[in-house]
Amino acid sequence: MNKLVKEFLDYLLIERGLADNTIVSYEKDLQNFLQFLNKVSVKDLEKLEKEHILAYLVHLKKMKRAAATIARRTAALKTFFNFLYQEGYIVNNLGENLEGPKKEKKLPDFLSVKEMDKLLAIPQLNTVQGVRDKAMLELLYATGMRVSELINLDLHNLNLEMAYVRCWGKGSKERIIPIGSQAVSSLNTYLQWGRNKLLKNPREQALFLNQHGKRLTRQGFWKILKKYVKLAGIEKKITPHVFRHSFATHLLENGADLRVVQEMLGHADISTTQIYTHLTTKRISQVYNDAHPRA
């Protein structure tokens, strides 16, 4: 069995050209399987049956291995047995129809309304950078845009009189998102004063500019956000995407329709948006337990 695993790993390296780290991962997973087979006294390929593979997967579950780990090891076994079958080492493909557990969807992190208010209050409005940063953060929270969408905005994408922004998401899909009054106010201040101070080339159309007068980059925004998170004393692991999660969660908590939130986020499938309902349901349960006299 060990010789077959070695041959399989060579096949992955030479014929499929997989990365070293991927091959090491396959090797660890298959060695773990062989150790289990050794414990149940199955040392020869001829004695191996599908029941042994299923018993191994049950064993992993009993050992409380993470769903992602079991899914990865199942995939490794399927690939391994498919190789053995194609090479003629086994008559029946023992890995066929093997199904690992579905990976659990991790609930996204988000900021509470209080934490968001605290963060948005940090930028200093007596500096050019502070005015710009305030406008960016307010717009990001007001719309739930991805950071890539935010930094790619041009001046003509913004209509403050009608209070909306036009952006392009994944697959170059256009969507129009309304902007709240606080974001409109911050953007007006930035456009009337801050942006002109940063502007170097009058032809530059980017909405948000860095200190060199060019379009702000994703990395530039990330550095700015980390600075404000630290100043706000927020200890959660915050990424730019947390603004998107907070936007969706706060809307749903306050009664927004799921389909409307889906449209504003630019999700093609509503199942992607539905993950936020787990957060709001959890919040409802918490409120119930805190408020009901017999909870």
Name the residues annotated as catalytic.
146, 170, 241, 244, 267, 276
Burial of 14 (0-12, 13-18, 19+ CB in 10 A): exposed
E strands, the chain, where?
158-159, 164-168, 174-178
The first and second tokens of residue 205, run together, are: 């159309």
DSSP 168: E
Residues 6+ apart with CB under 8 A from 33: 56, 73, 76, 77
**Cβ pair 1, 37 in contact under 8 A:** yes
Is 176 strand, coil or helix? Answer: strand
End-to-end CA distance of the chain: 57
Burial of 52 (0-12, 13-18, 19+ CB in 10 A): middle
**Euclidean distance between CA atoms 276 and 148, whole angstroms:** 21
**Cβ pair 26, 5 in contact under 8 A:** no
Q: What are phi and psi of 167, to 5 degrees?
A: -135, 165
* Nearest one of 1, 4, 83 to 35, comparing CA atoms: 1
